[in-house]
Amino acid sequence: MRMMKRRTFLLIFGLLLLMSPSEAEVFTSIGQMTDLIYTEKELVQSLKEYIQAEEAKIAAVKSWADKLDMLTQASTADPEGYLAHPVNAYKLVKRLNTVWSELESLVLQDPSDGFISNISVHRQHFPDEEDEKGAAKALMRLQDTYRLDSESFSKGKLPGVRYSALLTVDDCFDMGKTAYNDADYYHAVLWMQQALRQLDAGEEAIVSKVDLLDYLSYSVYQMGDLPRAIELTRRMVALDPTHERAGGNLRYFERLLSKELRESEKSKPEPSMEKPIDLSTYERPRDYLPERETYEALCRGEGVNLTPKRRSRLFCRYQNGNRNPRLLLAPMMEEDEWDSPHIVRFLDALSDAEMEKIKELAKPRLARATVRDPKSGVLTTANYRVSKSAWLEEDIDPVITRVSQRIEDLTGLTVDTAELLQVANYGVGGQYEPHYDFSRKDEPDAFKSLGTGNRVATYLNYMSDVEAGGATVFPDFGAAIWPRKGTAVFWYNLFRSGEGDYRTRHAACPVLVGSKWVANKWIHERGQEFRRPCGLTEVD
């Protein structure tokens, strides 16, 4: 019994390691999460080996138990007669001195040691509680941006998916609880309602219907729907009349509703549970982002302001970099993506081999992407930028040097004063909400430490196709640029006068399905004096 408790403790300890604190922020990068697939495969194999060893051990102990059981049945039937034979007496002494010691050693062997040791090696790379919370919030972000109801998620009905993935009652409940704990009652209602719908349909679950109704009724109350809160609480009381909160909540809700009805002099509405709670039942709370609706509409491919007249101004051409020797024999194909501000896309900007090499170099260096605090100028993480990034020096590999040279040849701008190549990988619901690449007048010291002036232009390489979502959008003028592997887009952030072009406020839409890899090059003002001379007016 003591050893069984020890083994049980070791197994529980191993599982608890899955929950150990970590600062990996795994969910923010699909590229790094792929390693977890192979880690989990290795752990499953280790678990199987443990089970086989445990089964072999139990089989050996059982075999000994069967043999000894037969001996003890014979010996206890006539102890004195049994021991009268000297051989039996000898073998009894031998068994108690040798066999039972061997059995004790066999029982004390712990096949779980290897499994626990394997988990201990990998646990530093496991997701933690913050990762799980972040991934749950990412699903809610996707739900909002792409207007997907909870049922679509629970049944895996997403565009472009290659693998089915279902959410159970308990999964939906955990999603709702994550929102509830953040006082996000809008999403709490959506996910608790989905959990209840699946539970009512007969799906088995660990969570009880009473607990679901408890969370759901209070969340609905917080959303201001007293009739539905009363109906849900009545269901809870019917299931568990002794529930410590249900009766009190029900009386409280009914008093509030009566008071509202008296004040408004309306007849009592009939509570209805026939209509399921969905995205349109309650109004989604507004947040800090003024262009939220425009931004998300563009992410869905809606509201793009490219009229036929404007489209007629867009052309494609071969770019030779103003007769640059490196481009004369192999000019780059260039397409106009937008007329004003002018955004272009270069085709075949990176080869497959170059993209794989850049990813290979970046992957071990990936860390949670940061933003610059406008007041302090210090880099910090933010919930509105969910990705991981790595900065690659020029001398790390000839590929990086070659890519930088290509950017200079295509744009005609020097990259001597540009920032290092930043490689970013977007994870679950990965995004970067609307922002400017250049520093504004209220943050004059944003790039002071670099000593190279403001960011005059942005060059963005797409290193993966994205099955759904992940567009680069410009809410100010209604443009949506979709990722295409191997291509690059380029635009100026500053007018020739040095004034910022505020139209270039842009965002990286959440990745709905897939993994998005990009490589950014931010080109600065210093060194461009003769390559892009100043204009005479503010908007030149």
What are residue 379's DSSP bridge partners?
372
Average confidence score pLDDT of the chain: 85
74-78, 112-116, 415-419, 498-502: least confident range: 112-116
Secondary structure, 3-state, 481-516: ECCCCCCEEEEECECCCCCECHHHCEEECCEEECCE
Structure confidence at residue 12 (pLDDT): 39
Cα dist. 276→194, 261, 288, 366 in Å? 9, 24, 29, 43
Structure confidence at residue 42 (pLDDT): 87
More confident position, 163 or 454 = 454
Alpha helices (runs of H) in 348-480, residue ranges in sequence order: 352-362, 398-411
Taking the C-alpha atoms of residue 213 and residue 197, their distance in angstroms, rounded to an integer, is: 11
8 A C-beta contact, residue 68 and residue 103 = no
**Residue 79, φ and ψ in degrees, nearest 5:** -55, -45
If you ran DSSP here, which 8-state letter would residue 350 be given? S
Q: What is the pLDDT of residues 179-188, one digit of tens each?
A: 999 999 999 9
Show Cβ contacts of residue 57 under 8 Å, excluding neighbours closer than 6 positions: 106, 109, 111
Q: Which residue carries 């089989």 as its tokens?
A: 59
- The torsion region of residue 380 among left (phi > 0), alpha (psi -120 to 50) and beta comes to beta
DSSP 50-85: HHHHHHHHHHHHHHHHHHHHHHHHHHHHSHHHHHHS
Write out the two tokens for 45: 């194999």
Position 261, amino acid = L
Taking the C-alpha atoms of residue 502 and residue 438, their distance in angstroms, rounded to an integer, is: 9
If you ran DSSP here, which 8-state letter would residue 365 be given? G
Q: What is the pLDDT of residues 312-323, one digit of tens each?
A: 999 999 999 999
Cα dist. 132→21, 128, 194, 414, 495 in Å? 12, 6, 19, 43, 43
**Among 220, 252, 250, which residue's Cα sits nearest to residue 235?**
250
More confident position, 377 or 303 = 303
Q: Residue 8: pLDDT band by 50, 70, 90 thresholds?
A: very low
SS3 call for 194: helix
